[in-house]
Amino acid sequence: MMKKTDRHFRFLAKLISPNIRLFTEMVPAQTIIFGNRKLLQFSNEEKPLVLQLGTGNPTDIHQTTKIPEVLDFDEINLNCGCPSPTVQNGNFGVKLMLNPEATRECIRALRQHFPDHMPISIKIRLGVDNLYSYSYLSDYVGMAIQAGASIIFVHARKALLKINPKKNREVPNLNYDWVYRLKNDFKDTQVVINGGIKQAQESTIHLSKVDGIMVGRVAYQNPMALSDFENRIFNIKKSQKLQLSIVDKYLEYTENQLNLGQKQQKLVLNLLNIFSGQKRAKEWRMLISEQSKAERINLEQISNKAVEIHMTNNL
């Protein structure tokens, strides 16, 4: 998620949910071709890691494969669902869903230029504006599979071109049935469902119908929820001390990254919602926000506060 799932947030997410498969933010192909490679940085602990590319241009795709860092990812995902005005102007993201021919050419280029061991996937919506029928969706997915995509991530609502990205995640209704239907119609292809999934319990029904679930907003609004998903899906017993050990490990990582010159604010703010929904969460958020801007960060103070809050919540 752009501006959210940066490399540091992904490190945190992986601490919370070791079995998670993480995505980069959408990385516009042009950005990396013209030399800005920051979004391609990651730590090995984040792997397996999917690079999500934003492009509608097969030539750009060919160019990206000449960037060595790109080949270190485990999967390449083509964004066919982002409705932001800038992305629409660049004729990629959701614009690809209006243009099956361009999508086909991009997927073919991805499959042709990336090594065989890297799966090619796409992330789509159910449709766009009035182009909203199961037959269009199913033809589009069939075309993508033929062209070389082996995993289809589906945000289970259509996109509306005239409303902003935030509203585009709320206004169009969710329609999980079409995603289930896709799996039924393309049994040999992995289908992953996304959109509005907030609680770990919801994963049971989805996973009885499709191959995987993808969560977006809940990951940064309440990162510890990722451990509920992990525990439920992989049948792991909940550990009482998990939250504390995560905070400590992340603080250790923060210290190392600060020494490597990474930005304090970005690193620290990822901890903002770690006690979301728990007692004294506001007090925690205030400390984190203060510390994110402090001239000299006090990691010990953060660690001690985490212990206090943990004790309050586990009396």
Ligand X SMILES: Cc1cc2nc3c(=O)[nH]c(=O)nc-3n(C[C@H](O)[C@H](O)[C@H](O)COP(=O)(O)O)c2cc1C
Least distance CB 256 / ligand X (angstroms)? 26
If DSSP codes are grouped into helix, strand and coil, which group holds residue 79? Answer: strand
Closer residue to ligand X, CB minimum distance, 52 or 270: 52
Closer residue to ligand X, CB minimum distance, 100 or 216: 216
Strand ranges of the sheet holding 49-54, from the earlier edge strand across to the other edge: 22-28, 49-54, 75-80, 120-124, 151-155, 190-194, 212-214
Closer residue to ligand X, CB minimum distance, 70 or 82: 82
Closer residue to ligand X, CB minimum distance, 217 or 232: 217
Least distance CB 81 / ligand X (angstroms)? 6
Closer residue to ligand X, CB minimum distance, 222 or 292: 222
Contact 197, 218 (CB under 8 A): yes
Contacts (Cβ under 8 Å, ≥6 apart) of 73: 24, 49, 50, 51, 118
Least distance CB 159 / ligand X (angstroms)? 10
Contacts (Cβ under 8 Å, ≥6 apart) of 109: 58, 61, 62
Q: Which residues bind ligand X (CB under 6 A)?
A: 1-4, 25-26, 52, 79, 81-82, 123, 155, 169, 194-197, 215-218
Check if 80 is active-site: no
Measured from the Cβ of residue 295, the count of other Cβ atoms closer than 10 Å reads 5
| CA contacts within 13 A on the Cβ side of 292 | 14
Least distance CB 110 / ligand X (angstroms)? 16
Least distance CB 216 / ligand X (angstroms)? 3
Residue sitting closest to ligand X (CB):
216
Measured from the Cβ of residue 275, the count of other Cβ atoms closer than 10 Å reads 26
Rounded to an integer, what distance in angstroms lies between the CA atom of residue 71 and that of residue 114? 8
The catalytically annotated residue of 13, 29, 78, 82 is 82
The residues annotated as belonging to the active site are 82
